[in-house]
């Protein structure tokens, strides 16, 4: 048991790196959810181009979903649940990009990049996750 506790300790630099990564991710998701709540014209145009409903209701629904999951991620007690839900959200975005044949590195993998930032930040700042998935 002592070995597990020892492996979950983290340096101050790693903790702050995790907080910064999580903060960047949270700010991006607040921006993303916010432009969908308004919704900006570009949101409706992009939805139409992707074959999704180009309606205000659909955009606002996605915005609310993104912001709720982001709030769960930002709150320490529910951060792992939030990350799991946001992984599903990113998976839907990746599938949509794949379905319409968008470029690999700039569009298709953008959700993967966000997921790596999200999980990396959480891993560096959350002792529970490091205990669950110890990298030795």
- Of 131, 126, 95, 94, nearest to 110 (Cα)? 94
pLDDT in tens, 4-43: 334 456 788 989 999 999 999 999 999 999 999 998 999 9
> pLDDT (tens digit, 9 = 90+) per residue, 85-114?
999 999 998 888 888 887 777 777 899 999
What's the pTM value of the predicted model, to 2 decimals? 0.86
CB 134 within 8 A of CB 4: yes
């Amino acid at each position: 048991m002592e070995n597990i506790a020892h492996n979950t300790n983290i340096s101050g630099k790693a903790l702050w790196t995790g907080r910064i990564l999580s903060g960047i991710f949270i700010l991006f998701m607040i921006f993303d959810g916010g432009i969908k709540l308004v919704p900006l014209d570009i949101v409706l145009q992009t939805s139409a181009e992707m074959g999704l409903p180009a309606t205000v209701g659909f955009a606002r629904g996605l915005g609310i979903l993104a912001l709720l999951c982001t709030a769960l991620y930002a709150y320490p007690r529910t951060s792992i649940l939030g990350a799991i839900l946001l992984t599903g959200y990113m998976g839907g975005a990746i599938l949509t990009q794949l379905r319409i044949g968008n470029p690999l590195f700039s569009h298709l993998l953008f959700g993967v990049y966000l997921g790596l930032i999200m999980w990396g930040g959480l891993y560096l700042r959350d002792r529970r996750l490091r205990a669950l998935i110890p990298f030795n």
